[in-house]
Amino acid sequence: MSTTQHLQDFVTQVRRDILRQVHQVNSGHPGGSLGCAEFFSILYQEVMEYSSDFDMDGKNEDLFFLSNGHISPVFYSVLSRSGFFPVEELKTFRKIDSRLQGHPTTHEGLPGVRIASGSLGQGMSVAIGAALTKKMNKDSHLIYSLHGDGELQEGQNWEAILYAGSKGVDNLIATIDYNKKQIDGATDDVLPLGDLKKKFEAFDWKVLELKEGNDIEAIKKTLAEAKALTGKKQPVVILMETEMGNGVDFMMGTHAWHGKAPNDEQLEVALSQNPETLGDY
């Protein structure tokens, strides 16, 4: 099987996992999760060097930090299908006594998660800290992070963006899930972010624009480009334009599915658009 076919099957299964997780507890955030299914799949299946035998310190591994923790369904699906914990455990998402909390946390010891996130705007700082420790440890592996675009309205991000640019934290690749939507509607209506490329550049970041953020080849190419830009005294950011709800026709083109689960009928339609590939949990 070609790697692309494998990735396509993986992404489709991840979409099924996302939909089934939020449906089974009638809560959670499918929209952003679906929009980032390709990104997570490529990162964990092809790009990052890591051990699925989880160790918190992650020395001599690439590390990933999810700042917009509400898209936990995609994170959990990809972690489990990358060997961090049994896929069966997806059944426990958001249920009592689960390691799969509504928002990701280290608190219950879920392998693959290195920081709690959910209260927005904190992940960039954490990623910078981990990047600085990698440098102190003379560990040449990279730090990857993901942030929502609406999340950039939190001020702490700009403290972190200023720091990383000014101090040349060049072993960090931050990706912005640029779907231009947030809970209350279009980001342009809630609080416009303006020209993000210019803003990051003004803070001395290297900016890559990824217009096809749901296209496997485009994401692979951009991540490779980003990796090649590390180690050059500048942090790297990817502005990844995604479609919230991608892969489910009635969830696309709207912010309505940011934090809403499908009902039984809607789930059936959604799953029929994403046929089982690697086996449901």
List interacting residues with other proteins (CB under 8 A): 56-59, 63, 65, 105-107, 114-119, 122-134, 136-137, 139, 155-156, 159-160, 162-163
User: In the bound complex, what is the minimum distance in angstroms from residue 249's beta carbon to other proteins?
Assistant: 36
Contacts of 271-275 with C-beta under 8 Å, sequence gap 24+, read: 271/16, 271/19, 271/20, 273/247, 273/248, 273/249, 274/12, 274/15, 274/16, 274/19, 274/247, 274/248, 275/12
User: In the bound complex, what is the minimum distance in angstroms from residue 247's beta carbon to other proteins?
Assistant: 30
Strands 172-177 and 181-182: unpaired
User: In the bound complex, what is the minimum distance in angstroms from residue 113's beta carbon to other proteins?
Assistant: 9
Choose between 74 and 126: whose C-beta lies nearer to other proteins.
126
Choose between 115 and 270: whose C-beta lies nearer to other proteins.
115
User: In the bound complex, what is the minimum distance in angstroms from residue 58's beta carbon to other proteins?
Assistant: 6
Choose between 7 and 100: whose C-beta lies nearer to other proteins.
100
Choose between 141 and 260: whose C-beta lies nearer to other proteins.
141
| 46: Cβ contacts below 8 Å, ≥ 6 apart | 3, 7, 220
Choose between 78 and 161: whose C-beta lies nearer to other proteins.
161
- Partnered with residue 172 across adjacent β-strands are 143
User: In the bound complex, what is the minimum distance in angstroms from residue 231's beta carbon to other proteins?
Assistant: 18
